[in-house]
Amino acid sequence: MKNLSQESAPILEALEKMKRLRLVPFDVPGHKRGRGNPELTEFLGEKCLSVDVNSMKMLDNLCHPVSVIREAEQLAAEAFGAAHAFFMIGGTTSAVQTMILTACKRGDKIIMPRNVHRSAINALILCGATPIYIDPEMDKSLGISLGMSYRAVEEAVKANPDAKAILVNNPTYYGICSNVEALAKLAHEHGMLLLADEAHGTHFYFHDKLPAGAMTVGADMAALSMHKSGGSLTQSSMLLIGPNVSEGYVHQIINLTQTTSGSYLLMASLDISRRNLALRGKEIFDKVIEMVEYAREEINAIGDYYAYSRELVNGDSIYDFDITKLSIFTRSVGLAGIEVYDLLRDEYDIQTEFGDIANILAYISVGDRPKDIERLVAALSEIRRNYRKDRSGMLEAEYINPQVCCPPQEAFYAPKRSLPIADTAGKVCSEFVMCYPPGIPILAPGELITPQILEYIRYAKKKGCSMTGPEDMDIEHLNVMEGSGK
């Protein structure tokens, strides 16, 4: 690598140099710097379209980076304390799947929490690995799943010494962290890799008041959503690896599915955002922490709502808490989280990240302003005053421990039949059902459909959760494995 510093942004600089050359484009994309699609240029702007270009010598190639992309990735690795960083333009879904496909082959075992994002289970469908699920502990008062307890993982490791890896969420969607350092040591003592889904943990690496970034406490690989708390464009992410993982092999895995037409808009946004975090990360997250702590204090003063934080920490299944997460329990107001989510959007023009059956998550970042926080607090106060109801009859559990009957790949590709959802109890599901966001499956391929799960699906639909996954978009029918159940 050239003598670069964190002040550098190699991809940005290469794109600026290319623009100065005034190249005549006889290559793709066909809009030719926007001239061929004036409506798109008017919408996005000439500056944007002028750098929506294809790989060329001076811009390097994401499939085989040897110059500016490689330099940008090396700077990212340095900023995050990794041996190498890969720019991922298929979102953190592609980074999570690369981790699992790197660690596991057909028939291998991987230990993971069941409250993983669907991307992790999708990876098992692709590679044929078998999950050893750790059912997360529950906070029944909040109706949310927690992290993995060390003892539960240790028992899974002892029962499955041939497992290839342990996957951990750092943090969960709600901000809850497991003891990643202890789990990394446990994994390494048994010859396993420790993989971290850090879709919501990019900021951990840039502030000492936040939980530890996985790579700083011994993880072998970590998938980061730079576009969430890191400020880059939607769909741009990073994959970090440690010194004991083969960079070349990981790159081969990435190239199995990643496009050969890498978006320079996405890559430049990763490059610029990395520079911003490396130079100003502590200052940025100082402001975010201050805003969230103020919001949490004001919301808790309203009454009934509960914006939770580090007081939940128990040293194990809640080893730490991400204090930038504004997770708010709503059930004491007599409203499901999704109902508050809908009211905020429809009545107050406030778009929060998601609502489930008991909570909402308001995602606060450096882009927010104090007056935005005040508007959110005022809206929540008014919702409580105008819409508060009796909470009796509300479902309490956000997560139901599943019964796994067979590996996801086997169930997904097995002969199947479609049944009315009411007739599926006792049968084995062969597809996904989930609320999105957050994208954690209620049912995944290979799991037993129970009356409790069907009740939860009906309740979530009634409350207005956005249900996704099944082949039947209306979720009136589910695909089940042929011959399963009675």
Q: What is the pLDDT of residues 51-73, one digit of tens each?
A: 999 999 999 999 999 999 999 99
Question: What's the rounded mean pLDDT across residues 292-303?
Answer: 97
9 CB neighbour count, 10 Å cutoff: 23
Q: Contact 252/86 with Cβ under 8 angstroms?
A: no
What local confidence, expressed as pLDDT, does residue 253 receive?
A: 98
Q: Contact 78/72 with Cβ under 8 angstroms?
A: no
Question: What's the rounded mean pLDDT across residues 192-221?
Answer: 98
The angle subtended at Cα 196 by Cα 191 and Cα 201, nearest 5°, is 155
Model pLDDT for residues 227-250, shown as the tens digit of each residue? 999 999 999 999 999 999 999 999
For the chain, the domains span: 7-59, 64-278, 279-387, 408-481
Paired sense of beta strands 359-363 and 354-355, if any = antiparallel
CATH of 408-481, one of 3.40.605.10, 3.90.105.10, 3.40.50.300, 3.90.1150.10: 3.90.105.10
Task: Give the Cα separation of 293 and 241 in Å (integer).
Answer: 33
Position 439 pLDDT exceeds 90: no
In degrees and rounded to multiples of 5, residue 224 shows phi and psi of: -115, 130
Position 380 pLDDT exceeds 60: yes
Both structure tokens of 149: 């307890």
Lowest mean pLDDT among 20-34, 50-64, 383-397, 439-453: 383-397
CATH class given for the domain over 64-278: alpha beta
Percent pLDDT > 90 in the chain is: 85
**Whats the size of the chain, residue-wise?**
486
Position 1 pLDDT exceeds 60: no
Model pLDDT for residues 341-375, shown as the tens digit of each residue? 999 999 999 999 999 889 999 999 988 999 999 99
Task: Give the Cα separation of 137 and 153 in Å (integer).
Answer: 12
Of residues 159, 157, 321, the one with CA closest to residue 167: 157
What local confidence, expressed as pLDDT, does residue 397 receive?
A: 61
Lowest mean pLDDT among 122-126, 336-340, 426-430, 458-462: 458-462
CATH of 279-387, one of 1.10.150.120, 3.40.190.10, 3.50.50.60, 3.90.1150.10: 3.90.1150.10
Question: What's the rounded mean pLDDT across residues 434-445?
Answer: 84
Instruction: Please tell me the pTM assigned to this model.
Output: 0.94
228-242 residues labelled b (16+ CB within 10 A) or e (exposed):
bbbbbbebbbbbbbb
Lowest mean pLDDT among 10-14, 172-176, 267-271, 364-368: 364-368
Of residues 319, 329, 310, 359, the one with CA closest to residue 137: 319
Q: What is the CA radius of gyration of the chain?
A: 23
For the chain, give the secondary structure using H, E and C: CCCCCCCCCHHHHHHHHHHHHCCCCCCCCCCCCCCCCHHHHHHHCHHHHHCCCCCEHHHECCCCCCCHHHHHHHHHHHHHCCCEEEEECCHHHHHHHHHHHHHCCCCCEEEEECCCCHHHHHHHHHHCCEEEEECCCEECCCCEECCCCHHHHHHHHHHCCCCCEEEEECCCCCCEECCHHHHHHHHHHCCCEEEEEECCCHHHHHCCCCCCCHHHHCCCEEEECHHHHCCCCCCCEEEEECCCCCHHHHHHHHHHHCCCCCCHHHHHHHHHHHHHHHHHHHHHHHHHHHHHHHHHHHHHHHCCCEECCHHHCCCCCCCEECCCEEEEECHHHCCCHHHHHHHHHHHHCCCCCEECCCEEEEECCCCCCHHHHHHHHHHHHHHHHHHCCCCCCCCCCCCCCCCECCCHHHHHHCCEEEEEHHHCCCCEECCCEEECCCCCEEECCCEECCHHHHHHHHHHHHHCCCEECCCCCCCCEEEEECCCCC
